[in-house]
Homo-oligomer: A and B are copies of this chain.
């Protein structure tokens, strides 16, 4: 395997494989073929083999993939074979929900600090974390070894939150707000918005409705 650029789509699929493999593991299934895994993930078997080949040779010819080992290999490939320490900025409804969410550690993450610029929220304790002023972010990021920032502010506060994060030397941002944010080149930003998925659905509904209409008109 030679080092090469890895498609973003591959990373997304790896996340899916991981989820399906965890389910297989829970069912105490020990070995899986690319074909069986492909059926479960609704992709092409070669696709899976190729995706995995970017990172190494994890399977056994004539046998398949050992589920537990493959899970571990994918976690290493994605970088989630350890716990990443994150900070959350913006303690509104969404922020509070995330702070109270128990599922982070299982997926390789931990929220270790919460920030909000609202003086009424600063000092409040949520899920064991004291809400802090963003002005104190830089020192906290350093002291607490925070590597990822999660923005859950309202749209109009997102850029300021991003600025605080960048000034605190964080290069990785997960942005739940509706704002596009501008950061230096070396900073990675991922945008989360479940409406995008709803749009994908309405688009399909729409076009399939149009198709039905058109074939109806022709007859």
Contact = CB atoms under 8 A, between A and B. Distances in A.
Contact of A188 (B179, B194, B204): B204
A213 to B, nearest CB: 13
A35 B7 CA distance: 25
A122 interface: no
Contact of A174 (B172, B197, B206): B197
Interface in A83-138: 84, 93-94, 97, 100-101, 107-109
Contacts of A20: 180
Contacts of A94: 97
Interface residues of A, number: 56
A198 B207 CA distance: 32
A41 B205 contact: no
Interface stretch (A8-16, A45-53, A62-70, A160-168): A8-16
Contacts of A79: 199, 202-203, 205-206
Nearest to A84: B202
Interface in A168-191: 171-174, 176, 178-180, 188, 190-191
B148 A198 contact: yes
B195 A23 contact: no
25 contacts: A6-B203, A8-B200, A11-B199, A11-B200, A15-B199, A19-B193, A20-B180, A23-B179, A42-B180, A78-B202, A78-B203, A79-B205, A94-B97, A97-B97, A108-B198, A172-B201, A172-B205, A174-B197, A174-B198, A176-B194, A188-B204, A188-B205, A190-B197, A190-B198, A190-B200
Given A11-B200, A15-B196, A147-B205, 16 more contacts: A12-B196, A12-B200, A15-B193, A15-B199, A16-B191, A40-B180, A41-B180, A78-B203, A79-B199, A79-B205, A172-B204, A173-B201, A174-B197, A174-B201, A188-B205, A192-B194
